[in-house]
Amino acid sequence: MTSVFRRPTGRRFHIACVAVLLLGGCTHWGVQPGEEAADERAWAQRQAALRSLTHWTLNGRIASTGLFGFSGRVRWQQADETFVIDVAGPFGAGATRLTGHPQQVEIRNADGAWVTSDPEGMLRDAYGWTLPLDGLQAWALGLPIDGVPAAVTVNGAGQLQTLEQAGWVIHYEAYAPTDTGLAMPQKLTVDNGETRWRVLVDRWTFPTPAGPAG
């Protein structure tokens, strides 16, 4: 994978992950080696810290524009590779629970339950809206999907500012402190040119580490 690192303004830099095996190295423009190395270290350290967060809960609000429109609340509970996502419109309208992982999901609502390997397509058919489930699991944390080419803009603290991946562009507008000591995404938009999701996180919750045995 070829990576290009730039610093457009201030402490920001750009990493463009282009075609795999297109070139054999990295090209750098206008960045002092020490600054570049510091930014790369901050990004690498933050990624490692975020990837260690395997159990978490996100409570927030979502709204979309484009081919379909939806606004409501979301509660996303992640435990290793398994998620439970509750989505509901105003006053609980269209309340839906998704359980599983992106490759196989049970969708449950007032009409019953279905298991599908295409949850995004089923949501689109049933409600007229869908969520990029495979991406959101990583993007909500401020991480790119593993193994998929991406272009990212990161600040000096190693926090994502923009991410382009899998046909989507994600803008991280604000971060908020959490009990983990990590600032987590609070406001972000996810846009593929046809549909634009806006996510506002009201609360991040992480398990409390168990204390030493008495």
The dihedral built from the CA positions of residue 190, 122, 104 and 90, taken in this order, carries a sign that is: positive
Q: What is the pLDDT of residues 65-75, one digit of tens each?
A: 866 678 899 99
Residue 206: the pLDDT is 94
Q: What is the pLDDT of residues 77-125, one digit of tens each?
A: 999 989 999 999 876 677 889 999 877 899 898 889 989 888 888 877 8
Higher pLDDT, 22 or 174: 174
CB contact at 8 A, 155 and 140: no
Domains belonging to the chain, first-starting first, are 3-53+139-203 (no CATH), 55-136 (2.50.20.10)
Q: What is the pLDDT of residues 164-188, one digit of tens each?
A: 999 999 999 999 999 888 999 999 9
C-alpha 148/C-alpha 142 separation (Å) is 15
Find the range with the poorest average confidence among 37-41, 49-53, 155-159, 201-205. Answer: 37-41
- pTM summary value: 0.78
C-alpha 9/C-alpha 179 separation (Å) is 30
3-state DSSP call for residue 20? coil
